[in-house]
Amino acid sequence: MEPTERIRVVIAKPGLDGHDRGVKIVARALRDAGMEVVYMGLHQTPEQIVHGAIQEDVQAIGLSILSGAHMTLFARVLELLREQDAADIKVFGGGIIPDEDIPELDRLGVAKVFTPGATTQEIVEWVRGAIPARV
């Protein structure tokens, strides 16, 4: 049997935010679309997320942030990826993120920000188009 190409993604909830229903729906949608999803759960530090992503050899990290700490948390994850020579891992995310913060997140290197109302199909299609699968 030949190995198949797959997209591997870590999905995590950084910080103190305790609401995880939406992130679990996204994780399941990605899994149902054929991706390998590692759900790290609630209350993860940026260090735990980056360590897990490197250990799991993923191509992307998806963050769900509803707490308002998105600027700090996205920036720290991206900084740690650069420090670990893992900047090739794309970071995307969503949550309650004001439109006026999105340009700065883009500048920091966040590949995509999904705001409330984004469908799971939009997220799946973006991941498939932006993240190359590998064996």
Contacts of 95 (CB under 8 A, 6+ apart): 17, 22, 63, 64, 65, 66, 70, 116
Residues 121 and 99: their CA atoms lie apart, in Å, by 21
pLDDT band at 2 (very low <50, low <70, confident <90, very high): low
The per-residue pLDDT for 1 is: 47
pLDDT(3) > 90: no
**Quick one: what percent of the chain has pLDDT higher than 90?**
88
Domains of the chain: 8-130 (3.40.50.280)
Choose among 45, 21, 8, 39: nearest CA to 95. Answer: 21
* Nearest of 76, 59, 79 to residue 130 by alpha carbon: 59
Each residue's pLDDT tens digit, 28-78: 999 999 999 999 999 999 999 999 999 999 999 999 998 889 999 999 999
**So what's the pLDDT on residue 134?**
86
